[in-house]
Amino acid sequence: MFVTFEGIDGSGKTTQAELLAAALRADGHEVVSTREPGGTELGERVRALVLRGPDLSAWTEAALFAAARAQLVDEVIAPALQRGADVVCDRYLDSSLAYQGIARGLGVEEVLALSVRVSGGLFPDRTFVVLLDAAEAERRRVGGPDRIERENLSFHRQVDRGYREVAALYPERIVLLDGARAPEELAREVRDELRAHA
């Protein structure tokens, strides 16, 4: 099973990814937890560049995320799935569709084509998008903001709208969660949803 978690920064998606991975391990599953960008040596270098580096053009940003994704699929995700492990990933290609495709204005189809090419067409079995008001998400964030987190509230609202548009494109795969609810409640909803579609 390949499960991804999405949402604007501060929405609680990372918490949900961690809670699911822990629950699956407690049930005796082999679980590979990873993140985008990151999860590999190259991916972590790309992460540092796109989040802490200089300003980037929209397509440069999209291409760097795609490069990190290509390496993550090849090095981590595909081998784990082939040996029967579950993979839980904090962000994947839907982030590119929402952030670069919609909020940066590059176009969903164009960014999707790039992501499909570099991932070998690997889509998650289930994607959970944690929705939260952008102002509330900003209040929740801890630590100094990275390059993308420093974008204005309008940008983050566009990303939120982007996730909703992407969810409408893939209703059979994407489940929307209310990030204002308690983390434990959301975690139960995630596990119930996965059991119902196992």
Question: In CATH, what number is assigned to the domain containing residue 14?
Answer: 3.40.50.300
Handedness of CA 59, 61, 64, 69 (dihedral sign): negative
For residues 160 and 110, what is the distance between their CA atoms, to the nearest angstrom? 19
Q: Note the pLDDT tens digit of each residue in 184-198.
A: 999 999 999 999 987
User: Domain total for the chain?
Assistant: 1
Element (H, E) at 177: strand 174-178
Q: Note the pLDDT tens digit of each residue in 40-97.
A: 999 999 999 999 999 999 999 999 999 999 999 999 999 999 999 999 999 999 999 9
pTM to 2 decimal places: 0.96
Q: What is the extent of the structural domain holding 96? A: 2-196
Q: How many CB atoms lie within 10 A of CB 70?
A: 19
